[in-house]
Amino acid sequence: MTTLNEGLHDLSRAIDLGAGRVSPELLRRATELRDAVVERQAAGLETTVVALFGATGSGKSSLFNALVGADVATVAARRPTTSAPLAVSERPATAVLDWLEVADRHVRDGVFPSHGDRIVLLDMPDIDSTEESNREIAQRLSAVVDVLIWVLDPQKYADAVVHEDYLRTMSEHSDVTLVVLNHIDSVEPAERAGVIADAQRIVREDGVSATIIPTSAKTGEGVDALMSQIVAVAGTQQAAYDRMTADVRSIGHDLASEVGTPCAGVSKKDRETISRAIASAAGVDQVAKAAAGSYTYRGRRWVGWPALRWLRAVRIDPLKGLHLLPEKGEVPALTGVRATPAKESHVRGIVRSVVTDATEGLPAAWRRDAVESAEYRTGNVLDHADRVIARADLGYDRKPGWWSAWSLLQWVFLLVAVAGLVWIGVLWGLESLAMPLPDTPTLGEIPIPPLLFLGGLSVGLLLTVLGRIFLSSGAKATERRVRKSLTKTLAPIAEEHMLAGIDSVLEESRELVDIAGRLSTVGRKTKKR
């Protein structure tokens, strides 16, 4: 069972969490209730305040006089005369009456048959008084007195003011509510049972389980029975506690109707969807392709045909084109792949869709907070992602060992081809000058000089082709590695800088749902499963 003090703690937390998310009226009521409970406890729970409420002509003041055994309250036949609450008790109840702002106080001995020193009886202004100030007093005190007695008239017991404005809002207060059908003497004896039963039905439909007590201030009928019920309900210190816990439960029910049901939150699949969207907008694919292009660009300077490597100088490293190569040892602050407004808008759309689905079942205000929290962070997340990419290790400084070996082979066979060409040139020159030619070595029937030249060119061409194949494979591996590495690096950014905010909002919503459930059972024993 949740105690009243535990309920007060939950109520304060609900007020903090609900600011801007639940209706201002509910927050106002919750705040006023919290303060009222604290003040009521401070005034002392040893005294129980019982108040008579009713519409004009219900005979409320006459019944009050009959209960206290003296004409203390002013009675009028046609118009309301109670303009301020009037208190009768067997001993002074200064603290609680000061808190209630009841100035008209009467101390009388022997009013209550037992526990009289614990009870204060109030006569209230009419709830439908023509004076607005009177109605305000009745409404204010109906929200804080410990026990409420509703005095109905047989001729208008279905009065909408009583039922719609008061009784229907007090379904949790049956333990501290008494309902009286006064002026019962004005009803024909044969009709009384039917009138009482109909009044009882209406009260039950209001959600109040109190049993109708028929009374007559004129004949005294039912007055003793009513007094017995007052003493039974108010004779202990439990009534004040019951009233306060009922108020808290009522707030709990209203809160539960506003906060909805707990939502599932952002699933793992949706988190991955958002992370991929951020990675894509931040240019991970573009950077990975550029890293692959840089691998190829740098690799061809080592494994390409040496005679044509100078052509590399007229091209630009793809990473440099994206401002991803450090200049003089400095790490670039921003890259050339920073998300465009169109990409950022695309990410916002995905985030909005995911969060909207994840918060299904929550009130509109909660969903709005969650969506705005995520969308607001999108720009900052993409900026942060850009800075992370700028500092990322893209493998620019790494050179595979086979590049050097391949370059050496290329140079060797280039020199072989050059040697064969020079040899052929020398022989051609000697022949042109009609000089005797030295014996040319052969390999089988093939002269060595053209073999060297053609062999060197052929092997060099073969090495170039194979080198490009190997470079292509390495570039693909580089692209996969960089994409995987950047995606993994950027994932926590989405989690910490965007999804954490969403999770916080959703966690608060779940906490408020739990609090509403606990508030709805304050003072009630829960069934064990």
pTM score of the predicted model: 0.71
% of the chain residues with pLDDT over 70: 94
Judged against a pLDDT cut of 50, whether residue 80 lies above it is answered with no
Helices marked H in 44-110 — which ranges?
Answer: 60-68, 94-100
* pLDDT tens digit sequence for 19-57: 888 899 999 999 999 999 999 999 988 899 999 999 888
3-state SS class at 166: coil
> Which DSSP helix (H) or strand (E) runs through 151?
strand 147-152
Are 377 and 497 in contact by the 8 Å Cβ rule? The answer is yes
Asked which of 87-101, 285-299, 499-513 is least confident by mean pLDDT, the reply is 499-513
The residue that leads in pLDDT, 502 or 43, is 43
Asked which of 24-33, 215-224, 430-439 is least confident by mean pLDDT, the reply is 430-439
Pairing of strands 442-443, 446-447: antiparallel
Read off the amino acid at residue 242.
Answer: D
Read off the amino acid at residue 519.
Answer: L
- The number of residues making up the chain comes to 529
For tokens 């493998």, name the residue. Answer: 395
* Mean pLDDT over the full length of the chain: 86
3-state SS class at 107: strand
The residue that leads in pLDDT, 515 or 306, is 515
User: Which pLDDT belongs to residue 382?
Assistant: 86
Rounded average pLDDT over 58-73? 91
Rounded distance between C-alpha atoms, residue 88 and residue 72, angstroms: 8
User: Which pLDDT belongs to residue 147?
Assistant: 95
Environment class of 444 (CB within 10 Å of its CB; exposed 0-12, middle 13-18, buried 19+): exposed
Rounded distance between C-alpha atoms, residue 41 and residue 499, angstroms: 43
Highest mean pLDDT among 74-78, 212-216, 363-367: 212-216
Query: CB-based contacts of 26: which residues, under 8 Å, 6+ apart?
Result: 18, 251, 254, 255, 258
Residues paired with residue 110 on neighbouring β-strands, in sequence order: none
User: Which pLDDT belongs to residue 528?
Assistant: 44
Confidence of residue 63 (pLDDT cuts 50, 70, 90): very high
Confidence of residue 274 (pLDDT cuts 50, 70, 90): confident
Rounded average pLDDT over 172-182? 92
User: Which pLDDT belongs to residue 81?
Assistant: 53
Asked which of 34-48, 101-115, 138-152, 387-401 is least confident by mean pLDDT, the reply is 387-401
Concatenating the DSSP letter of every residue in 505-520 gives HHHHHHHHHHHHHHHT
3-state SS class at 126: coil
Confidence of residue 79 (pLDDT cuts 50, 70, 90): very low
* Exposure string for 325-349, b = 16+ CB within 10 A, e = fewer: eeeeeeebeebbbbbeeebbeebbe
| The token pair that represents 262 in the structure block | 């707990």
Are 30 and 255 in contact by the 8 Å Cβ rule? The answer is yes
Confidence of residue 11 (pLDDT cuts 50, 70, 90): very high
| The token pair that represents 137 in the structure block | 């007093």
Rounded distance between C-alpha atoms, residue 180 and residue 159, angstroms: 14
* pLDDT tens digit sequence for 322-344: 877 766 555 555 666 777 788 88
Domains of the chain: 46-236 (3.40.50.300), 268-519 (no CATH)
Rounded distance between C-alpha atoms, residue 299 and residue 288, angstroms: 16
Residues paired with residue 440 on neighbouring β-strands, in sequence order: none
Q: Which of 391, 400, 365 is nearest to 470 (CA)?
A: 400
Are 149 and 230 in contact by the 8 Å Cβ rule? The answer is yes
N-to-C CA span, the chain: 14
* List of E strands, 5-131: 48-54, 86-89, 104-107, 119-123
Rounded average pLDDT over 110-136? 87
Environment class of 99 (CB within 10 Å of its CB; exposed 0-12, middle 13-18, buried 19+): middle
User: Which pLDDT belongs to residue 527?
Assistant: 46
User: Which pLDDT belongs to residue 334?
Assistant: 61
| The token pair that represents 416 in the structure block | 């072989």
Rounded average pLDDT over 442-459? 86
